[in-house]
Structure 1
């Protein structure tokens, strides 16, 4: 299972709000289409983000699990509702499950492989088993 680091507040919006698109400058590698991935809240805040309401203040942790079900280019950003950016690839997400307890982890650029311990901790929360 791979993980994807996303800066806050975007990772929190995926986990706890209605954000179901990840905007990227690069096309999704075909091997990841349909994959279940871990959503990792990065160590830094996206300072260009306009945040309304309380900000999720979790950093450097896995906060959710999601499936990437599509990737398409958008010139105007309107195809994916208010979360879609213009002139970007939209990676659409489905079956998003927020973790009850964020799991601390160091992230990386692009897709990265979490430790076996981190993956087991995520799976334990998804299945409701004690870790």
Structure 2
């Protein structure tokens, strides 16, 4: 199982709102399409963001689990509604489950493998094997 660190408020928007695309400058490796992914709220705020809502103040913790359903490049950002940016890859997400209790841990750049204790704490709250239908 992999995790992806995302700055707030975007991690919270994935966990608690309707954000179902993550904008990245790099393409999702094909082997992760269809895989479950931990959404980790990074330690820093994206100061240019204008999104607010519940649990957006959580930093340095896993806040949700999602399924990576695909990846495509977008020149104009229009394909993924208000969340898509232009000239980046859109990683599409489904079956998002917010954790009732965020699991503290340090994040890393790129896709990273969480420690076993983090996975155990997440598994107590959500089924990591479930996939989207």
Q: TM-score, normalised by structure 1?
A: 0.93
Question: What corresponds to 1:90 in structure 2?
Answer: 90
Q: After TM superposition, where is structure 1 displaced by more than 6 Å over at least 4 residues in a row? A: none
CA distance in 1, matches of 2:55, 2:85: 20
CA distance in 1, matches of 2:75, 2:25: 12
Q: Aligned-residue CA RMSD in angstroms?
A: 1.2
Q: Give yes or no for contact 2:70–2:93 (8 Å, CA) kept in 1.
A: yes
Question: What corresponds to 1:15 in structure 2?
Answer: 15
Question: What corresponds to 1:102 in structure 2?
Answer: 102
CA distance in 2, matches of 1:10, 1:122: 20
Instruction: Output one character per residue of 1:3-47: Cα deviation in whole Å (capped at 9) or x when no partner.
Output: 000000000000000000000000001111111010000000011
Structure 1 gaps, min length 5: none
Q: TM-score, normalised by structure 2?
A: 0.92
- Other structure's SS at 1:38 match: strand
CA distance in 2, matches of 1:77, 1:28: 17
Map 1:1-131; keep pairs closer than 5 Å: 1-52=1-52, 56-126=56-126
How many aligned positions are there? 127
